[in-house]
Amino acid sequence: MTIRAIYENGVFRPTVKVDLPDACEVEVEIRQIKGGSRIPSLDDVYAILGRRHSSGEHDLAERHNEHQP
């Protein structure tokens, strides 16, 4: 049986459901897939969200009251 998995935080996570009983022992041969699509980890997402965005406005709070009812 050949399955694809993502290696993340020290654990191999299958990308599809695997029909095996829990805690069964398996033998694994590892081959890295080059250029395949990779699901971003939470660290990747937080790195993107942590980047600064420049809106061109120096002080966004300065115009806060313009949008209040």
Residue 65 has pLDDT above 80, yes or no: no
In a domain, 64, yes or no: no
Of 4, 3, 9, 14, residue with least CA distance to 41: 9
For 9-51, the pLDDT digits (tens) are 899 999 999 999 999 999 988 888 776 667 788 888 888 888 8
pLDDT at 50: 83
pLDDT at 36: 61
What is the number of domains present in the chain?
Answer: 1
In a domain, 26, yes or no: yes
Rounded Cα gap, residues 61 and 55, in angstroms = 13
Predicted TM-score (pTM) above 0.75: no
In a domain, 68, yes or no: no
Q: Give residue 35's domain range.
A: 5-52
- Count CB neighbours of 50 within 10 A: 7
Rounded Cα gap, residues 45 and 68, in angstroms = 32
